[in-house]
Amino acid sequence: MQALSIAAAGMTSAQMRFDDSARRTAAAPLDDLAGETVERIEAKTAFSANAAVARTADDMMGTLLDILT
């Protein structure tokens, strides 16, 4: 199902954004702390949204399989 692969790619991208922001903060903790905090919040929100898409797609597939059996 295409929705699952798109959601998985979105979660991977969000995780990478979060990790990159954490690395930048660790390297220079006081340069742009507010901006990096916003970046991590946005990455967390994107991850959560993609996880919700994956759950919904899985639920829909389960319902379809229940109907067909």
* Per-residue model confidence as pLDDT tens digits over 25-53: 999 877 889 999 999 999 999 999 999 99
Q: Is the pLDDT of residue 8 over 90?
A: yes
pLDDT of the residue at 50: 98
Looking at residue 32, the DSSP 8-state letter turns out to be S
Q: Please list the helix, strand and coil fractions of the chain in percent, rounded to the nearest 5, in that order.
A: 90, 0, 10
pLDDT for position 66: 86
Quote the percentage of the chain above a pLDDT of 90. Answer: 83
* pLDDT at position 31: 83
